[in-house]
A and B are shown apart, each in its own frame.
Chain A
């Protein structure tokens, strides 16, 4: 496979975690400008684990996700009372704080006569686990997609069961959800933690592919992009954000015809979509229509009430 293509696909895969993270909060009705903070925390935590503590890749990945989830848990409480715009600004302030803390965060140890570890705004060099284990870029790309498939599968299970239905209920009408018996605090905090952990996984994968972390790449632009992906691709299914990532990174950033004009096209596209399809290409109505079409075409009437002929992307229920 072409090296450039592998890199583009790897990027799409990693950013997808961030887009899914923003998507989880979007379906619960919150707009976060700060998911990049959890991406950064996952990246730093897993990088520290493998490069400085000598951990393996998988423990490092889990540790990165756990650290991001824990940070999200801490953020969830003070932001619980913030609504709408206030939540957006609050998460923005939090993420910028995290980035600025990484700008001054120094923690280095000497390994083989060389200082390794986060060095403030100089960044964090030498996360070389993948390189040392001789894993090729192509194999690492497959690994990214395997993890992504796992997270997607988990999200599809969530969406088909209790948790997903309640998240979407909260996202559409909080008051109704509460009068029907939903404990808002519990489910909002849970959504924030899951979203944080998903972003953390993406960050961990990113750290090991790049081998070098710089605080300034975890800026608000990254966060708002990941938010926009869900709004472009659609909030009806977890495939939506992936479509958004594909359109932006796959089409606009990588296709060289748009070079220099990518943001003009991307910005215009998002603005137009928000006018004509405010919940994205694959919004709930589109997913519903697709499901109905699928069922009419591929499953016999007898199966209908049994639900066995349903495709996996069915939301809620």
Chain B
């Protein structure tokens, strides 16, 4: 489904990604981990076209999307969340979703009753049912993250990129978020999840890819990767993980 081939990207002389390759098959849930500043978010930006790769190729569904703008990759079925949640504070929760629906589906001209019910249903499922008509600025951080997750589902995407979906959450909230993602994955959606919480990653993903200083240092099944010496050195050894 997604092929990233020897992609490089630098910012003002600092290499953020060097020769990164990654393949994700349909239905897979891949964890993307690595220390802060290792290039995880940059990789998502490269894939979605926010900051295109300087070298290398990104293919999605067999199509070269390397230099496509973000709205074009979105139209092909790529959607994402952000490390710092981006919700539309001046709109209600439901309006946030309907805006995403309009943005993702050019044929929808106005919100019909069926659309409204579908969006309400999605919100209900992720526990935001009571907040439908609340302004998004009133949501707590975990709620904003959940809203972002629901938003990715609105336009029926092929690949979902989640950037630290449980960042800043308590263990209980993290567990709730993990359950939600698991439900999404169980319906056969392909996901890439960036996360620091290894417990969550190992329960969600069969496969993990590890970035360090902009390079892939490990890529394999969850068990293999979590026992890998280089990974332990680069990441786990330095951090006290729960």
Contacts and interface: CB of A to CB of B under 8 A. Distances in A.
Given A161-B110, A184-B71, A316-B95, A169 B90 contact: no
B108 to A, nearest CB: 7
A168 B100 CA distance: 12
Interface string B156-190: 00000000000000000000000000000000000
Interface centre among B75, B95, B104 (most CB of A within 10 A): B95
Interface stretch (B17-25, B111-119, B228-236): B111-119
A182 interface: yes
Contacts of B133: 292
B116 A284 contact: no
A305 B117 CA distance: 8
Nearest to B109: A162
Interface string A229-256: 0000000000000000000000000000
A290 interface: no
Interface in B57-104: 69-71, 74-75, 79-80, 82, 86, 88-92, 94-95, 98-100, 102-104
Contacts, number: 98
Contact of A168 (B71, B79, B91): B91
Given A316-B98, A317-B95, A179 B79 contact: yes
B110 A160 contact: yes
Interface residues of B, number: 37
Contacts of B69: 178
A182 to B, nearest CB: 5
A316 B91 contact: yes
Contacts of A168: 88, 90-91, 99
Contact of A307 (B80, B108, B116): B116
B95 A181 contact: no
Nearest to A162: B102
B239 to A, nearest CB: 29
Interface string A156-191: 000011100110110011011111111110000000
